[in-house]
């Protein structure tokens, strides 16, 4: 479980990573600008450019799960953090 913080405006994005390569692969995807369907993050990159993301995004690990933890458990925790940090209303989470 992780949160991406936009240091320019304070908005947050909560995400999770499941699968064999876990958080490493997920963050690598972000570094490579693969937004995997998150419309809010894609719009931000389209409007501000990749340099904006490089300058203003900070990645923080909230919780760590190994690959043996069931996906539904990880997704339930992701939902918890989205609610706790109110990232659907005041952040970048659109789901």
* Residue 95 covered by a domain: no
CATH of the domain at 85: 3.40.1440.10
Q: Which segment, 53-57, 59-63, 82-86, is predicted with the most confidence on average?
A: 82-86
Give residue 48's domain range: 2-90
- Tally the domains of the chain: 1
* Residue 35 covered by a domain: yes
Which 3 state secondary structure label does DSSP give 33? coil
* Residue 12 covered by a domain: yes
The whole-angstrom separation of Cα 90 and Cα 27 is: 22
Position 8 scores a pLDDT of 96
For 13-60, write each residue's pLDDT tens digit: 998 877 666 666 666 665 565 545 577 887 888 899 889 988 999 989
């Amino acid at each position: 479980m992780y949160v991406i913080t936009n240091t320019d405006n304070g908005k947050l994005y909560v995400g999770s990573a499941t699968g064999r390569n876990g958080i490493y692969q997920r963050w690598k995807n972000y570094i490579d600008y693969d937004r995997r369907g998150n419309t809010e993050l894609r719009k931000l990159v389209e409007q501000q450019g990749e340099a904006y993301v490089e300058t203003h995004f900070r990645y923080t690990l909230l919780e760590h799960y190994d690959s043996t933890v069931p996906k539904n458990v990880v997704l339930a925790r992701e939902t918890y953090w989205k609610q706790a940090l109110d990232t659907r209303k005041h952040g970048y989470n659109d789901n």
